[in-house]
Every structure is written in C-alpha cells, then in structure tokens.
Amino acid sequence: MCPGQKSHERWEIGGTFDGFLSKWLMSSSTIRKKTTVYLDAELLTAAKILAARTGRHEYEVIEDALRTYMHKADTERLQTLMDQLASRSALDDAEALEMAYAELHAARD
C-alpha cells in the first residue's frame, strides 16, 4: 500500500487545537511528508525488526508509535482537565458521567 493510502476511522472532534490534534491522529487519509529524524541506533533497529515481523513498513511502525504516544498525552491532559472540573462541580458522579457521554456523542455527530 502506498504511504498516502493508509486509512483510519475518521472522528469529528470540536474546533479547538486539541480537536484538530485528535482529528489528525485518526484521520481517514494522511498526506505524508518526507523528513529526517535522528533515532537511537538500537531503537531504529528494533523498529526495523518489528516492521519486518509484522509485514509493515518502517514508517508505519514509527507513525503508530508516535500516534500512540500523542494519544496517551492527549488522554492524560483530558484526565487532568476532568479532575480539575470535578473538584469545582456540584454534580454527583452519575450526573457528571451522563453529561460527559452526552458531550462525547455530540462531538462525534
């Protein structure tokens, strides 16, 4: 498969930078740009071995690792925000969960 043809499920998220980042992380079509990065030699070797074992290109392994890392950072930032909001909220857990799911579904529509 050509580098520009890999597809992912597309999620529509709000209009903020975080929304842009989340949408980009799961975009349905990605235009790839060639770049140079410097990696630890052992890390690069491990990525090459993983790519060969899984039948993928090296760039796919590196993209997946970077997406996973960025998604984790995004999730941690969201959890911190949720914790801050919870400390200021008069909602009980059930009400807060109901509101969170409503917002989640609204963002996906």
Q: pLDDT tens, position by position, for the chain (109 residues)?
A: 444 444 443 334 444 555 555 555 555 466 888 889 999 999 999 999 999 999 999 999 999 998 888 888 888 888 888 787 777 777 788 888 888 888 888 888 7
| Residue 23 pLDDT | 59
Nearest-angstrom CA–CA distance, 54 and 6: 16
Scan for tokens 């499920």, then name that residue.
9
CB 4 within 8 A of CB 23: no
In this prediction the pTM is 0.49
Where do the domains of the chain lie? 3-108
Length of the chain: 109
| Residue 10 pLDDT | 39
